[in-house]
Amino acid sequence: MELQSIKNRFGIIGNSAGLNHALNVAEQVANTDLTVLIVGESGVGKEIFSQIIHSLSARKHNPFIAVNCGAIPEGTIDSELFGHEKGAFTGAVDSRKGYFETVNGGTIFLDEIGEMPLGTQARLLRMLETGEYIRVGSSKVQKANVRVIAATNKDLLELTHQGRFRQDLYYRLSTVPIRVPALRERQEDIAVLFRKFAADFAEKYRTQTIVLDHSATNLLLSYKWPGNIRELKNIAEQISVLATEPVITSEVLQRFLPQANDRHASMALMPTSGSHGFQSESLTDTERDIFYKLFFDMKKDLNDLKQLVFDISRGQPVNMASQAADNFAQPGNFTSTTENVTPIISAPYLPSNPLYYPQNGEQQLDHHEEVEETLALSDREKEFIIKALKKHKNRRRDAANELGISERTLYRKIKEYDIKD
């Protein structure tokens, strides 16, 4: 099949050398049963390549299923892929077929293969080498004829060096690697893609099609597009809906593009693996948003506490009842004298402050309570997880939804913090 015919059939836009090479490899390998590993950044369209390979293969009339390995909890992924027997674990009230059994004769696409647990990797390796698998809770060996296409946005070879991915599975999966180029490597395709998305959204929302002027086009091409095609499509949709004029200038486009400085400043706030055991690159967008909010809230609390202590040390009135603490004066507004000034704060809230001394005639406050709260991010995170589990009576899916994270991430955090049900 001609390359242009494949693009038309699957709605692929662009003519860059990297894209054309990836499509040529997909076409050549489609009519074989070789295992394929598709690599590329998030948002480049890896799944569409798996559909191309299946549709051009001899298995095209048999089932095709896409499985996101990163979205399945570690405790259930074996059951999802290979099935389980009745009573194999708590909640297994009946036998269940796994994906490999249901798509026998077809193709299975394993997205985010780098997130697959090591135990499941061993089962998958056996399936790839012998075509055999065993249901969870069973001792009976079963066979399936399934072609495996895997995809990842991570460096699997580096993960093998870290002991997080099996080396033998890596070489078994990468029989034929296909690299999908990032959008920033397809400069000649960016403007064409944007025009296509703009036309589609104009038709969808029944609005006038937006057009970029020369300055906006240059800005579009200079942006790095970390979210690749997915990000470009989202930007085109936002502008199509919110723009008040059909001609988009660079000034208008700039308002819709994420600011690199803001992104870098936010990343600087994230802890590194040396402090709390994780890296910002490993977090999902939802988890990252939660951590950002925690950091900003803690920063605000610390600033408020510093201002409160400073006010008391200078003898400034602090009326907690009227919430004057939310509207502290700037330090430059303070006077140097403390005569005839008595702090308006009750003893339980008065910090132990060596800079504050009662004036002559004042009653010594001989009772105070120091409140110390841990500001460690891991402790705050563990506290939120415990509260969410308690609120939802240990229903992990509901608790994960409440926290805004995946069920698998919640499962991992429960094990990490040794939280008991």
pLDDT digits (tens, 9 = 90+) for 392-404: 888 888 888 888 8
Fold match, 3-181 / 184-258: no
Alpha carbon of 142 to those of 131, 173, 219: distances in Å? Answer: 8, 21, 56
How confident is the model at residue 321, as a pLDDT? 43
At position 232, the amino acid (one-letter code) is: L
Hey, what CATH class is 3-181 in? alpha beta
In the numeric block, which tokens belong to residue 233? 């499509």
Q: Which residue has the tokens 């690599």?
A: 39
Window from 41-45, 85-89, 97-101 with minimum mean pLDDT: 85-89
The 10 Å Cβ neighbour count of residue 82 is: 24
Q: What is the mean pLDDT of the chain?
A: 80
Mean pLDDT of the region 269-290: 47
Q: Which residues touch 329 (CB under 8 Å, ≥6 apart)?
A: 316
Q: How confident is the model at residue 333 (pLDDT cuts 50, 70, 90)?
A: very low
Report the topology of domain 184-258: Helicase, Ruva Protein; domain 3 (1.10.8)
Q: Which residue has the tokens 């074989």?
A: 32
pLDDT at 29 over 50: yes
Q: Delimit the domains of the chain by residue range.
A: 3-181, 184-258
pLDDT at 237 over 80: yes
pLDDT digits (tens, 9 = 90+) for 102-158: 999 999 999 999 999 999 999 999 999 999 999 999 999 999 999 999 999 999 999
Q: How confident is the model at residue 52 (pLDDT cuts 50, 70, 90)?
A: very high
pLDDT digits (tens, 9 = 90+) for 367-394: 444 444 555 666 678 888 888 888 888 8
Among 170, 228, 186, CA closest to 47: 228
* DSSP 8-state code for residue 84: B
The 10 Å Cβ neighbour count of residue 349 is: 15
At position 176, the amino acid (one-letter code) is: V
